[in-house]
Amino acid sequence: MMRVSDLVMLCDAFRDAAGGLPESTLSHRMFGDSKRLTVLRGGVADITVGRFNRAMIWLRQNWPEGRDLPALLAGWPVSEAGDQVDQAEAVQ
């Protein structure tokens, strides 16, 4: 079972793979909210299953080219319903 802490760990790996992308920048790109990752990391708030899934799909689709995809993310589907999520679209 995947947990919010797994999502946060994958976000940290993404930030490293992207050359040190600030957490607030990734949070804004994924959720349209620059503080969402910080809140999730602190355990102050939770996330819906749908939003969690869309965040995982966003990470899968936007993983930096040439960087190894983490095993937790490698098995994740690229889309929810067979359609690609717009890579510029925030998870809402």
Tell me: pLDDT of 89 over 50. no
Give the pLDDT of residue 79.
Answer: 80
Give SS3 for 3.
coil
Distance CA 71, CA 26 (A): 20
Distance CA 71, CA 48 (A): 23
Q: How many CB atoms are closer than 10 A to CB 24?
A: 14
Q: pLDDT tens across 46-88, in order?
A: 999 999 999 999 999 999 999 999 998 888 878 876 444 444 4
Give SS3 for 52.
helix
Q: pLDDT tens across 14-30, in order?
A: 999 999 999 999 999 99
Give SS3 for 40.
helix
Residue 22 identity (one-letter amino acid): P
Is residue 84 within 8 Å of residue 78, measured between CB atoms? yes
Residue with tokens 């949070």: 27
DSSP 90: P
